[in-house]
Structure 1
Amino acid sequence: MTRRPRTSTAVAWGFGLLLVLAWAAGLLLLAHQRDQALQAEQQHNAELAAQLQARTGQVIASSDLAMRQIRDALRAGTPPDLVRLAAASGLGKALVQLSLVGPDGRFVGSSLDPGGEQTGPIDLNEREHIQAVLHPPAGGNANAIFIGKPVLGKVSQRWTIQLSRRLAAEDGRTLGVAVASLDPVQFESFYRTVPLGMLGSVALVGPDRRVRARVLGGTSQGMGSDLPADHPLVTAGWPPSGSGVQAHEGADDATDAHIVAFAQVGSYPLHVVVSTASTEAFAEWHSQRNLLLLAGTLGTLMLLLAASITTRRLREREQAHGENAEAAYPATEVTTEISTEPMPDGAEPPSARD
C-alpha cells in the first residue's frame, strides 16, 4: 500500500514553488522595464540627433550657397566680392572666412584678405581640402562638397573646419576652389544646450571617423579625435540614421555602456552622434530595481518564516495524530495454543468449527 505524502511536506513544496514564481515574475518585470528604458533612451537620443543635424545642416547649406555664388561670379567674368558674400551668408561668427583658391592651388583672396596682399599666393596644394577637389582620388567626385578635418588656418590662425568645392565653368574647366572656413566652437555652442548628463556627448563626425566638433558633459573636448572602430555608426556602415549600444572602453561590466543615436546632416558627408551613459540613463530603473530587490528580499524572509512556522505546526499535528491513533488502536498479538493432554477414550478432537 502506497503511503500518502505528509501535508507538511506538500505545504513546504507549495511555499517553495510560490517563492520561485514570485522571483521569476519580479526578474521578468525588471528585464521588461529595462528594455523599455533602453528603447525610450534610444528614441530620445534619435530625436535629439535629428534636431541637431537639422541645425547643423543649415550652417553647411548656407556655406555651400556662398561658395556657389563665388562660382556664379566667376562664370559671369566678375571678381567675386568675398566680403559681401560672407556678410550676406548670415552665418556670423560661424564663418571665419570665405576664400578663393586658384586652379593652381594657390591662395587668391578671402573675406579677411580680399586682395591677398597680406597673405600672398600661398601654395595650398598640400592641404587635404584642396587636394580632394583639385586632385580627387580615382572614383572620387570632384564636384561634390568636401568637408575636411579641423586644421589650423594659415590665414586666420584659428582652428577651423574647411568646406571646399571645385568651381567649374560651363564647359567643365576648373576656375578655382571655394573654401568656407567654419568655426567648430559655433557648433559646440548649441551642442552644449542639450542636457545629456555628465557623461553624455554630442559629436560631429565625417566618414573618415574624424571628429569635427564634440561636447562631453557640457564641455568642448575631443575635436580631432577618431571614433573607435567598434562604434555603432562605423559598424553599421554609416547609414542615414540609426542607434546602438557601445560598451565603455575598458569597462568590465557589459551593462556599463553608451546608448548612441546618429543622423546624417542632410545629404552632406557628416553625421551628428548623440550619446548618453547607461549609468545615467538607467538611474530611475536602478532605483526601481533596488527597491524591488529589497522588497523581494524582505518578502522572501517573511515567506520563509511563515513556511517554517506553518510546516512545523503541521508536523506537530501529524505527530500528535499518529500518537493518538496508536493509543486508540493498540496492536494485539494473536496466539494459538495446542493442547498436549491425552484425549479421553472415545472423544473426538474439536473441529475447526468448534
Structure 2
Amino acid sequence: MPLRTTFSLRPWRDARVYLRASVLRKLVLLLVLVLPLVWLFAVHKRDQLSEVARDESNRNVKNLAHAFAEEVQSSIVTIDLSLSQLRLSWLRNPEHFGDIVTELNTHLQGRLRINVVVTDVEGRLVFSSIPGAPRHLDLSDREHIATHLQGGRGDRLYIGKPLKGRLSGRWTVQFSRPIIDADGKTVGVIVGGVAPAYFSRFYSTIDLGANASIALVRTDGIVVARTTQDLTMRDSGRLLTGFPYTTVNSTAGGTFHRVSRLDGVERNYGWRALPQYGLLVTVGQSVQDANARYAQQKEVLAMAGLAVSLLLALAGWAALAAADHRRRAVASLAAAEARWKLALNAAGEGVWDYSFGNRMVTLSPSARGIIDAEGTLLPFDRDAFALMSHPEDLAAVLHALDAHLAGHTPDYTAQYRTRLRNGNWRWILARGQVAGRDTGGQPLRIVGTVADIDARKLQEEQIRHLAHHDMLTGLPNRLLLRDRLRQALLAAERAEHRLAVIFFDLDKFKPVNDSYGHAVGDVLLQQVATRLRATLRASDTLARLGGDEFVVLLPRVNGSGDARKVAEDILRELNRPFMTEGFSLNISASLGVAVYPDCAQDADSLLRCADTAMYEAKLQGRGRVAEHADCERIQAGMYKDAA
C-alpha cells in the first residue's frame, strides 16, 4: 500500500528534528553503511558491461572470421578451378588461348578478373592477358614461378606474396600451378593474378564500427590484403610475426587481443586458418567501438549512483527502489540489444528465432522471402523441417543441428536445398547459435540467419562442369575420363570382370578443315559426338581428348569380341555421310582396342595399348579396327622375319 507522509504545519520545528544530533548520526551511519555498497554495485555493473562488451566483440569477430574464411575459400576454389581449366585449354588449344581467357573473365561477370600469364619451362613469358606484355620476358626469379620450376611441390596450387607486377604495374596476388604434359613432365607455369582488393569485399558486409579491420595473411606472416574504413590495401606485402601468424595448426581458429602493429589501434581479433592454402583470415573490432555500445549504460550507472545516494539521504526506501529499478532497466536494455545484435550484423540476410518451448519460429521479412514461407510466425518441428528440406541433404543438416544443440560445436552452419511453395528447390545457407539453456543444459531458444546462395551454387556447378568437359562437344575431357577409368578398374578388379578401351581418331578430318574451314570442322565434331553417344550404352563413356582424338570406355565386357563389335559399330556409324552446314562430308576412323586385364593392369598402360593398336590400324590402311593382341602378334612376326 502507498506510504503517506504527514508534514507539520510548523516548518521550523520540523527543521529542528532533521538537525538533531541523533538523526544526523543515524544518517551518517546509514550513508557509511549503504553508500559503499551502492557504489560497489555501480562499479561492479560497469565492469560487467565491459566484460559483456569484450565477450560480445570476441563472439562477433570469431563468427565473422569464420564467414570471411568461407568466402575466401570459395573464392580460391573458383580461381583454382579456373586455372585448372585454362591449363587444359593451353595444352589443347594454345592458338585460341587468349579468346578462352577473355571468355572466362566474361563468364565471371566482373565479380572477379584474372590476369593470366603463361611461362615456358625456363620461366620465360609465352602468353599474357595484359596488353603490351613483352614476349620472352624472364620471370623465373618470381617466387610463384620458381617454386614449380624447381620441382618438389607436385601439381599443387601455390599462392604467392602480393607483388607489384612488372607487366601491369599494379599490386596483385599470384596463384600458380605447373603445366604438366601427357608424359607427366613440367613444361611451364600458368599464373592467375588477382587484385588484393577482391578479397576485401567482405568488409562492406560487416558493421563493427569505424575502426574495424579485416585481413588475409599467409602463414609466414606476409599480409595478402588488409582493409580498414579509411585506408585500403596499404599493408599488402608487410610482415606480421607472433601468434597466430606463425603457429597455425590444421584446426586453428579463435580470438586474440592486440594493439595493431600496422595502425596502432587496440582491437579484439577473431581469426580462422585455411591450412590447405597456407592462409589465415582475421576480423578485428576496436576496443573503443566494442565499448561504445555500452557507453550510455555506463553513464546511466553513474547518474543512478548519484541519484540513489541523494535519495538514500532523504529516505532509505526510495534508494532501494531506485537501485532495483535501475538494475532491472540496465539488464533489460542489455538483453534487448543482444537479441537484435545478430540482425544488425547480418545485413542482407534473413533472421530467424526458434523457441523450443512453444515450437514456434519467428521469421524476418527477408527470411520469409528467402524460404518462401507463408507467414512470419509459424509452428515448426522436425517433421516440418523434413518436408521442406531436400532428402539428400536432410541427414547432414540434422547431424550439424544436433551437434550444436548438444553443445559439441560453437555454432550451427548448414548449406542445403529447401522446397519452395511452387515445388522448386533453392540452395540456402543457414547459421544459428543457441541463445539460452535451462538448468539441465537443454536449449530454450536458437537464433540465426538464412541466406540465398542459389546463384553461387549454380556458378560453382558451371565451373565444375567446365573443368571436366570439352567445351566444344560437351563430352567428358581427359581429366574426367581418367577418373572414370580409375573407378572402372577398381570395380573390375573387385568383381573380376573385364573392361575395354577404344582409342580412335578421325580419318580424312584434316581435309575437311582445310577445304571448308574450322567452323565446319567444329560442327562436324559436334555431330560425331551426337551420333556416337546414341550408339553407346548409358554406362559407357565417350570422351574427347583434343583435336579429332576420342576414347570410349566400356566398363564391363565379356571379352575382346564384345569390344571389337562396339568398335566396328562406331566405324560403321562414322562411315555414314555427315550433312554439315549444307555439305555432305565423308570421313572414317582408325580404332584401337585394348582389354583389361589381358593387355594391361593400370589406366596409363591400358590407354597406351589402345593407342598403339590405333596406330597399327593406320599402318594397315586406315578405316579399320585393330586389337592390341593383334598388334603384338604382327610385331612379333616382323621381329621373327627380321631375324
**Aligned AA for 1:296?**
G
Confirm or deny that 1:211 pairs with 2:229: no
Task: Report the alpha carbon displacement of residue 124 of structure 1 after superposing the two structures with TM.
Answer: 0.7
The residue aligned with 2:147 is: 132
* 1:101 and 2:119 matched: yes
One-letter amino acid matched to 1:178? I
Q: Which amino acid aligns with 2:38?
A: A
1:1-354 to 2 correspondences below 5 Å? 15-73=31-89, 78-79=93-94, 81-85=97-101, 87-88=103-104, 90-93=107-110, 94-112=112-130, 118-135=133-150, 141-169=153-181, 172-217=184-229, 219-226=231-238, 228-230=240-242, 233-234=244-245, 237=248, 240-248=252-260, 257-265=266-274, 267-300=276-309, 303=312
The residue type paired with residue 97 of structure 1 is N
1:276-313 Cα distance to aligned partner (Å, 9 max, x none): 11111211222211221232144335546779xxxxxx
**Identical residues among aligned pairs (%):** 26
Q: Could you tell me how far apart the structure 1 residues matched to 2:303 and 2:262 are?
A: 31
Q: RMSD in angstroms over aligned alpha carbons?
A: 3.5
Instruction: After superposition, give the CA deviation of every residue in 1:27-64 in whole Å (9 maximum; x if it has no partner).
Output: 33222222222222222222322333333333221221
Check the 8 A contact 1:192/1:219 in 2, yes or no: no
Do the aligned partners of 2:176 and 2:189 also contact (CA within 8 Å) in 1?
yes
CA displacement at 1:250 relative to structure 2: 11
Cα 1:105–1:195 shift into 2, 3 Å = same
Provide the C-alpha distance between the structure 2 equivalents of 1:68 and 1:40, rounded to a whole number of angstroms.
42
- The higher radius of gyration belongs to 1
Mark the runs of 5 or more structure 2 residues left unpaired by the alignment: 1-21, 317-643
Alpha-carbon contact 2:220-2:245 (below 8 Å) kept:
no
Whether the 8 Å contact between 1:214 and 1:222 is mirrored in structure 2 is yes
Measured at CA, do residues 50 and 119 of structure 1 come closer, stay the same or move farther in structure 2, by a change above 3 Å? Answer: same
Verify the 8 A CA contact 1:53 1:263 in the aligned structure 2: yes
After TM superposition, give the deviation of residue 191 of structure 1 in Å: 2.7
Distance in 2, matches of 1:251 and 1:294, equals: 35
Are 2:86 and 2:100, in contact at CA under 8 Å, matched by a contact in 1?
no
Query: The residue matched to 2:227 in structure 1 has which SS?
Result: strand
How far residue 249 of structure 1 moved from its aligned partner, in angstroms, is 5.3
Aligned length: 291
The equivalent residue for 2:10 is: none
Q: Which amino acid aligns with 1:125?
A: S
Task: Note closer, same or farther for the CA distance 1:270–1:123 as it changes in structure 2 (3 Å cut).
Answer: same
Task: Give the whole-Å Cα distance in 2 for the aligned partners of 1:251 and 1:226.
Answer: 12
The Cα shift of 1:85 comes to: 4.1
Give 1:336's aligned residue.
Answer: none
Counterpart-to-counterpart distance in 2, 1:191 and 1:284? 20
Q: Indicate if the aligned counterparts of 2:115 and 2:193 stay in contact, CA closer than 8 A.
A: yes
Structure 2 partner of 1:322: none
Query: Structure 2: which amino acid aligns with 1:24?
Result: L
Per the normalisation by structure 1, the TM-score is 0.69
Bigger helix fraction: 2
Contact 2:227/2:233 (8 A) holds in 1: yes
Higher RCO (Cα < 8 Å, 6 or more apart): 1
Q: 1:91 to 1:190 in 2, by over 3 A?
A: farther
2:121 match: secondary structure: coil
Q: Distance in 2 between matches of 1:180 and 1:304?
A: 75
Q: Which residue of 2 aligns with 1:326?
A: none
Q: Contact between 1:82 and 1:98, CA under 8 Å: does it hold in 2? A: no
- Residue segments in structure 1 that go unaligned for 5+ positions in a row: 1-5, 308-354
Q: Deviations over 1:122-164 (max 9, x none)?
A: 111111211222236xxx7343322112212222232211111
Aligned-residue offset at 1:204: 1.8
In structure 2, what is the Cα distance between the partners aligned to 1:194 and 1:73? 39
Q: Tell me, what secondary structure is at the counterpart of 2:210? A: coil
| 2:529 aligned partner | none
In structure 2, what is the equivalent of residue 316 of structure 1? none
Do 1:52 and 1:191's aligned partners in 2 also have CA atoms closer than 8 Å?
no
TM-score normalised over the length of structure 2: 0.40
Task: Mark the CA change 1:61 to 1:306 in structure 2 (over 3 Å): closer, same or farther.
Answer: same
* Kept in 2: contact 1:108–1:121 (CA 8 A): yes
